[in-house]
């Protein structure tokens, strides 16, 4: 699956603090069903199909993986499922799916849930969490890179194939891999509530070059560049573009795909996001 799409959020009741939220690891089959019920409200599908079987969520929890549900009072408002993985870099936690109920999105629950997941991984000797998300969704890009201090390191074309949920239906499921290096200085600062959005004017002054930006009509304009720091502008709200101009949204999908696939092949990664939804693509930090 993928991480929560926060672009569909409605007005949250209030900004939730750690004292307002009780995040519990799942220890029973009944609790696993609660997790899936929450996620089904985020990733709604025709016929009220669930995003994964409750018994699978329970097996993940029972076998020692990360399955958690967040409560505001007695109400479950968010949930996340992750499992142990191993790739060329080494062992890590892969966060398969996470979400916050639409009425509570934008209230800090997603941040607190990810920080709980971070502490869980560190306590078990893991130094990295990965997950995937749609790189066209600017709000989620900002959350992943700025609010969490993670990096985008790979691009997968149509990663999941067709998906029938309300968010992904009708579009190819291109995904970026998020690599959250838990002991990275930026990640540690983000865990302490210190966030640093990239500043585009400073980057341009230092030689950054625009590789993708919209024209006057909102259509994507690509520029093939070889500079080590590249700026890649996203539409502010691709979900709205998909609804009102699906052909234009498709053009953005293909343009961003080409630019980021090329950048990752050049050994670069997304290391920053500006407040106006622009990726900063540069060499990996040591």
pLDDT tens track for 154-205: 999 998 885 555 455 457 899 999 999 999 999 999 999 999 899 888 888 8
pLDDT at residue 284 tops 50: yes
Q: Where are the domains of the chain?
A: 1-126, 131-286
What is the C-alpha to C-alpha distance for residues 133 and 144, in angstroms, rounded to an integer? 9
pLDDT recorded at residue 2 = 54
Pairing type for strands 220-222 and 209-214 reads: antiparallel
Q: How far apart are CA 221 and CA 212, in angstroms?
A: 6
Percent of the chain with pLDDT over 70: 91
Whole-angstrom distance, CA of residue 261 vs CA of residue 154: 8
Residues 3-29 have a mean pLDDT of 75
pTM of the entire predicted model? 0.91
Residue (of 140, 152, 88, 86) closest to 114 by Cα position = 140
CATH (residue range 1-126): 3.40.630.30
CA distance 95 to 84: 9
User: 90-132, pLDDT tens digit by residue?
Assistant: 999 999 999 999 999 999 999 999 999 999 999 999 999 999 9
Q: H-type helices in the chain, by residue range? A: 29-42, 54-62, 109-123, 138-142, 185-191, 200-205, 238-244, 246-265
Residue with tokens 């304009």: 221
Contact 8, 101 (CB under 8 A): no
Q: Which two tokens stand for residue 160?
A: 């999941």
**Secondary structure class of 255 (helix, strand, coil):** helix
β partners of residue 232: 212, 279
Q: Is 39 helix (H, G, I), strand (E, B) or coil?
A: helix
């Amino acid at each position: 699956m993928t991480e929560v799409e926060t672009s569909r959020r409605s007005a949250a009741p209030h900004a939730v603090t750690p004292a307002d939220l009780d995040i519990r690891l799942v220890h029973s089959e009944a609790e696993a069903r609660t997790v899936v019920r929450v996620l089904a409200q985020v990733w709604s599908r025709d016929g009220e199909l669930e995003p994964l079987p409750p018994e699978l969520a329970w097996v993940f929890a029972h076998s020692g993986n990360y399955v958690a549900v967040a409560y505001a009072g007695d109400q479950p408002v968010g949930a996340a499922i992750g499992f142990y993985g191993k790739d060329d870099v080494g062992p890590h936690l892969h966060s398969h799916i996470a979400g916050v109920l639409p009425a509570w999105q934008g209230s800090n629950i997603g941040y607190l849930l990810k920080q709980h997941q971070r502490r869980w991984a560190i306590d078990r000797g893991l130094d990295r969490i990965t997950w995937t998300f749609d790189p066209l969704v600017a709000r989620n890009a900002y959350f992943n890179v700025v609010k969490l201090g993670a990096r985008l390191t790979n691009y997968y074309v149509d990663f999941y194939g067709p998906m029938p949920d309300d968010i992904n239906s009708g579009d190819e499921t291109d995904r970026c891999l998020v690599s959250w290096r838990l002991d990275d200085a930026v990640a540690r600062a983000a865990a302490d509530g210190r966030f640093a959005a990239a500043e585009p004017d400073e980057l341009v002054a230092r030689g950054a070059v625009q590789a993708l930006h919209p024209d006057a009509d909102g259509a994507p304009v690509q520029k093939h560049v070889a500079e080590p720091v590249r700026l890649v502008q996203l539409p502010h709200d691709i979900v709205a573009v998909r609804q009102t101009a699906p052909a234009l949204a498709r053009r953005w999908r293909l343009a961003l795909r080409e630019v980021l696939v090329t950048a990752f092949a050049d050994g670069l990664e997304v290391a920053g996001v500006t407040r106006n939804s622009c990726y900063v693509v540069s060499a990996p930090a040591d």
